[in-house]
Amino acid sequence: MLTLVTHPACLGHENAPGHPETPRRLEAVLARLEEDLVATGHASWREAPDVADADLLRVHTAEHLERLARVDREGGGVLDPDTAMRPGSLAAARRAAGAAVLATEHALAGGGPAFCAVRPPGHHATPGEAMGFCLLNNAAVAARVALERLGAPRVLIVDFDVHHGNGTADAFRAEPRVRYVSSHQWPHYPGTGAAEDTGAGNLFHAPLPPGLPAATYTRALLHAVDRALRGFAPALLIFSAGFDGLRGDPLGGFAWEPDDVAAFTRGIVERAGRPAVVSVLEGGYDPPRVAEAAARHAAALAG
């Protein structure tokens, strides 16, 4: 059975009016997961804990955490042109990271796959900086916890958000126990993720232009996964599950449909040898479409 991890605090993070990253995204996902998976007996909910500072410090600098805490005490503020905090923002981010940690503990203990229905997203947050709607890097924190606290020897991160997860790449570019795969639109925000950026031989980037057939994007993603898996058997597979690669998303130009997402999810799990699996919600800015694709992705995780 699939475990779904969330917390009401993740709905309490508000951006400025007109900002694409809204609570409506998560509300739509939660409703669709409940209808498609929980009500049919294929999944159950767990509540995310507050993340431990010791786990955040495995990825983020103390200065970064102190800045977030200070801005929170001041009632909010602008962190970069796209990223701001208001009352409730830090609590949401901490529960999102806590969800990723709980899901990782659950999956590595043999409890089965887990999907974290959380916000704000995380993959742009670098060790020392919030950016791109992201305050804390949920997938990176989960991977570090797996390596350093839970004893996983190797972790594969597969990021299919339409934007490159620069924060995740930066967190692991010198870490041979982690391989990071990203299929993303190029050129596009944040301007990172060139094919020749291979880190310590552990970054596998598949940058592609907008407007191509969906099958082209899928082939590129799966080819990057196959390259990452050569001589590398992960104990844990983490998906950075961004659904802004769907056709018609206001912030992307890819062409995937929910069926494509379900198919490549199954394909990646099979290729990786069916390790423990955790998935964390990242982007996607057309709420009904995000909800449909997230439910199809989660159902593929559940088998």
Positions marked active-site: 124
Phi/psi at 115 (nearest 5 deg)? -120, 130
Cross-strand bridge partners of residue 209: none
SS3 2: strand
DSSP structural state of residue 182: E
Instruction: From residue 196, give the alpha-carbon distance in Å to each of 36, 177, 237.
Output: 41, 20, 23
236: nearest Cα among 138, 120, 145, 126: 145
Cα dihedral sign for 167, 172, 173, 174? positive
What six digits make up the tokens of 171? 């967190």
115: nearest Cα among 27, 23, 5: 5
CA atoms of 221 and 184, how far apart (whole Å): 9
CA atoms of 264 and 55, how far apart (whole Å): 30
Long-range CB pairs of 21-25, under 8 A, 24+ apart, other chains included: 21/119, 21/120, 21/121, 21/133, 21/283, 21/285, 22/287, 23/119, 24/287, 25/119, 25/284, 25/285, 25/287, 25/290
